[in-house]
Chains A and B, each alone.
Chain A
């Protein structure tokens, strides 16, 4: 029996601060969930008209297309420095950077660390999927030990490649950051937790509290060579063993 939706209440729809553009991401990729969470947060805080998003280089290079707010596309790794310049120039803006693991924790190591150390009043969304998706599945700074990538075809060997960097833990050693947390999206409970964390990270900026970082363990089903559901299980069972979930700093 068909249901008449006109007589029902809409309880979930596309956030208003997102555009209608279709994502360029692969099937099952978590980037889309994170984008939706950010859009929902911008809606709930009513900040679309003063938000500037920073799009990185990587699979999320097109991030400027997803939001109905101003955006700046920047060089690989430099998002936290550009965010610093924007926020200092116009402190009334809400500035968030969206950065992958290569962007944030490899090529942008200095910019990421020092923006955090200055306690810039910005919100950083750090998407950790342990691989370079856009360029074809190469090793990331966060690639797990023995994980096969196109540049570690026999698996990441710590003897020559080192170990996965827990960058949020490094940032958590600093005095300035207000909020540093690691979240995941492998089931609806984690999605709800992550949504709360992202909202808190934006709310901190609105309240002028300072630097907030939300690391989000994400999947890359295409380059992991797993189905989206298997990729979720891999995050739950394997990745979280190396990158434990939870708040690392909460001075809010």
Chain B
């Protein structure tokens, strides 16, 4: 069994990536994910792996594009403004069917915003962000130990589906110290083969990696291939957690750090005799619409709580489809809701 250590979220994501076989890491410094970059700077070179502090986020994501083309596991990380710069590259990575992992330790926005925790990049992460009809798989850890597990999963899913996978964290998770059991390092020999990679055309026709075709019919086919992949991902990879949902009358829908705070609010509400539960999407793309709809069938209220103006709220309302009331409570600008704040909201709506 792996050792238990007290570690910061950012370092855990970095170390889990190393143990998942991340061979090349490229990034540009930004708060609040700098510890991730610094962990990689300390550890990747001594393992004979590649660390580059890139000249920009744009360069970093394109280095990822190159390393992914060469068939190695590769990652970049940043925080909101930097992720905006990566959007061009992410679109190319998705369009070229390349596996890559992108970490967003979300901070307050828009613009320069601030460096406090936020969930205001949900739309950007789940609805596109870059140009074109593409999606990333988006994994939203709620605790530091889960960040380790989902980092491993991110690399596996990226390779399995040849797609970019985002770990959508926030400043709270990135900075938080928690006891964590790190996963064992994977055996590099166990990694999937990548016969499509540009590793030199030895005894085969050249491999060409592109997201480009001038012919509308051809580009339509390329898009259909992507959409087929997204249907498979929707069918197989949806993940969520339900807490005290079975007998609940009000369910809080929250993800990431907010879900963890909401869990405390659920305990406090239960202590008061309120029948409250928590529905926590772990994949925010694909979103667990069907599972949440099933919950909505037997509750009166689904209360969305986010550190945003109401972004996941749109998916919640799509899922609930007017089967229950869908009030919203959000904080913005880096203000983190307390369990007490959430409990107050619950009391407004609970019967």
Contact = CB atoms under 8 A, between A and B. Distances in A.
Interface of A: 48-52, 55, 61, 64, 67-75, 78, 81-90, 92-93, 110-111, 113-114, 118
Interface string B19-56: 00001101000000000000000000000001010111
Given A89-B70, A111-B59, A75 B88 contact: yes
Interface in B213-272: none
A84 B72 contact: no
8 contacts: A49-B202, A72-B69, A74-B62, A75-B88, A75-B92, A82-B66, A86-B70, A90-B200
Given A70-B201, A110-B56, A111-B58, A88 B206 contact: no
Contacts of A110: 55-56, 58-59
Contact of B208 (A70, A82, A85): A70
A71 B206 contact: yes
Contacts of A52: 69-70, 198, 200
A83 B69 CA distance: 10
A70 B210 CA distance: 11
A86 B92 contact: no
B66 to A, nearest CB: 2
Contact of A78 (B67, B89, B202, B209): B89
Report which residue of A70, A75, A93 has the largest number of chain B beta carbons within 10 angstroms of its beta carbon: A70
A49 B74 contact: no
Q: Which 10 A/B pairs are nearest by Cβ-Cβ distance?
A: A85-B66, A85-B63, A81-B62, A73-B210, A70-B198, A89-B70, A114-B55, A82-B66, A86-B66, A78-B62
A88 B51 CA distance: 9
Contact of B200 (A51, A64, A72): A51
Chain A CB within 10 A, most for which of B26, B56, B70: B70
Contacts of B52: 84, 88, 118
Contact of A89 (B66, B88, B206, B210): B66
A61 B52 CA distance: 27
A78 B199 contact: no
Nearest to A97: B66
Given A50-B200, A51-B200, A110-B59, A84 B208 contact: no
Contact of A90 (B56, B65, B72, B201): B72
B212 interface: yes
B54 A81 contact: yes
Interface string B283-327: 000000000000000000000000000000000000000000000
A48 to B, nearest CB: 7
A118 B69 CA distance: 21
Interface in B61-103: 62-72, 74, 88-89, 92, 96
Contacts of A73: 96, 208-212
A71 B63 contact: no
A92 B71 CA distance: 13
B69 A82 contact: yes
B191 to A, nearest CB: 13
B164 to A, nearest CB: 14
Contacts of B64: 85
B207 interface: yes
B278 to A, nearest CB: 40
A89 B58 contact: no
A89 B201 contact: no
A78 B211 CA distance: 14
Contacts of B55: 110-111, 113-114
Contacts of B88: 75
A118 B51 CA distance: 13
Contacts of B63: 81-82, 84-85, 88
A139 B244 CA distance: 64
A91 to B, nearest CB: 9
A51 B199 CA distance: 8
A88 B199 contact: no
Contacts of A90: 70-72, 199-200
A82 B62 contact: yes
Contact of A93 (B70, B89, B211): B70
B201 A84 contact: no
A85 B198 CA distance: 12
B47 to A, nearest CB: 14
A78 B67 CA distance: 13
A71 B212 CA distance: 13
A84 B69 CA distance: 11
A64 B66 CA distance: 15
Contact of A81 (B66, B70, B202): B66
Given A75-B92, A111-B59, A85 B69 contact: yes
A75 B200 CA distance: 21
A232 B202 CA distance: 39
A50 B55 CA distance: 28
Contacts of A92: 200
A49 B201 contact: yes
Contact of A72 (B56, B74, B198, B201): B198
B70 A74 contact: no
Interface string B172-201: 000000000000000000000000001111
Given A78-B65, A84-B66, A88-B52, 8 more contacts: A52-B200, A69-B200, A71-B206, A81-B63, A85-B70, A86-B198, A89-B74, A113-B55
Contacts of A113: 55
Contacts of B26: 85
B200 A70 contact: yes
